Amino acid sequence: MYSKKRELADLALFGGPPVSERLLHVGKPNIPDRSLLMKKLEDVLDSGWLTNNGPMVKEFEERLRDLLGVRNCVAVSNGTTGLEIATRALGLTGEVIVPAFTFVATAHCLQWQGIKPVFCDIDPVSGCIDPSLIDSLVTRKTTGILGVHLWGRPCAVEELEVVAERNGLKLVLDAAHAFGCTHNGRHVGGFGKAEVFSFHATKFLSTMEGGLISTDDDALAEKMRLMRNFGFKGMDNVIHIGTNGKMNEFSAAFGLASLAQMEHVISKNRENHLEYRSGLESVPGINLRDYPDGDKHNYQYVIAEVDTRETALSRDDLIRILHAENIRARRYFHPGCHRMEPYATMYPEASRDLPNTELLASGVIAFPTGTAVSSDDIRRICNLLAFVQENADEIASRLRSIQI
């Protein structure tokens, strides 16, 4: 706790110095061992093979295939392109059922291809799409379900697979947050028809920009390999519609170097999560979401919910306070895809049918973590939040009376 001598005027929002001298981010890139990375980059330069399914990409795919325990891994330029390729390769058209509580790319990958995303509400406990609500959304135009493993916590894949089979739908899973996680002892990557990972710079395993599609369907994998390279099969032989979705050799080299430190990063993420859990357990109004026992997690996100029944400060109030202190907490995933364009115009009444999504989107907060965040940083954040919540009524009154 802060000492009683600390005054509200010490808060940066009210003119005091920031509690952190440097910016603390939710997803500052984890940089792999420089000597290993430079060696791999030198290998790329020495080979003269910079893209077009080179040896680094092939090695990266093979390593991930073995780690995930799947038959096929298809490296792509980014996770969004991976989702577009996977849904197109599966022949999805018409309507696809998807949660609104996700990064907007999940919905955009459908709308971009002329597929209408139909938003389904979430389970309030997991935050993932609620399988029990899907049947009521199925129409004659529905061709698939696109589930999301939220914050690395796998969605109810078995129930989703049952619903998909019952309705003759194809199940694709957005696994952007879930690399390295398991569900009932199985690695995320082998569920549904295909799963898509992101290796963006902010992810704990990064290729700077990149993504991966995993599947046990050999024919589907071959189609997606064609599609990521304009449909080429050999020299001057285009046999399928395609795009430029290839991963380059530098990105794959970065990914291989990142893979070498993956367990270290996970361990650090877990330490950070436990530090937050210890620091916030007695702070009212901030409820940390824990990770379920029994499976492996990457601990990439530290997520809490602000309960305004216990505090006079809203989630957005806390965000303003934290940002002034150089703590770049985020509202993942505010305000929900249904409130972003073009979906807000397409579905002006969507919020009425998405009560759990609305509630979670209004209260969730993601705290800084990763290898760039120290235990001392986390203790300062938790102590700050404890001080703020102890003085919530007075701070809320000040915030309402001034324009900032």
Q: Reduced to 3 states, what is the DSSP secondary structure of residue 77?
A: coil
pLDDT at 6: 77
Assigned token pair, 55: 């040896």
User: Do residues 173 and 149 lie in contact, with contact meaning Cβ atoms separated by under 8 Å?
Assistant: yes
pLDDT of 4: 46
Class of the 34-260 domain?
A: alpha beta
Give dist(CA 44, CA 49) in Å, integer: 6
- What is the pLDDT at residue 76? 98
How do 186-187 and 182-183 pair as beta strands? antiparallel
Helix H, strand E, coil C: the string for 287-339 is EECCCCCCCCCCCCCEEEEECCCCCCCCHHHHHHHHHHCCEECECCCCCCHHH
Q: Does the CA dihedral 181-184-185-190 come out positive or negative?
A: negative
> Minimal CA–CA distance to 310: which of 282, 347, 271, 333?
282
Q: How many residues make up the chain in this entry?
A: 404
Ordered per-residue pLDDT tens for the chain, 404 residues: 444 467 999 999 999 999 999 999 998 999 999 999 999 999 999 999 999 999 999 999 999 999 999 999 999 999 999 999 999 999 999 999 999 999 999 999 999 999 999 999 999 999 999 999 999 999 999 999 999 999 999 999 999 999 999 999 999 999 999 999 999 999 999 999 999 999 999 999 999 999 999 999 999 999 999 999 999 999 999 999 999 999 999 999 999 999 999 999 999 999 999 999 999 999 999 999 999 889 999 999 999 999 999 999 999 999 999 999 999 999 999 999 999 999 999 999 999 999 999 999 999 999 999 999 999 999 999 999 999 999 999 999 999 887 65
Strand, coil or helix: 386: helix
Domain definitions of the chain by residue range: 8-29+262-329+368-401, 34-260
- Provide the residue type at 252 as one letter: A
Q: What is the pLDDT of residue 5?
A: 62
In this prediction, residue 1 carries a pLDDT of: 43
3-state secondary structure of 140: coil
Assess if CATH 3.40.1360.10 describes domain 8-29+262-329+368-401.
Answer: no
| H or E segment to which residue 89 belongs | helix 79-89
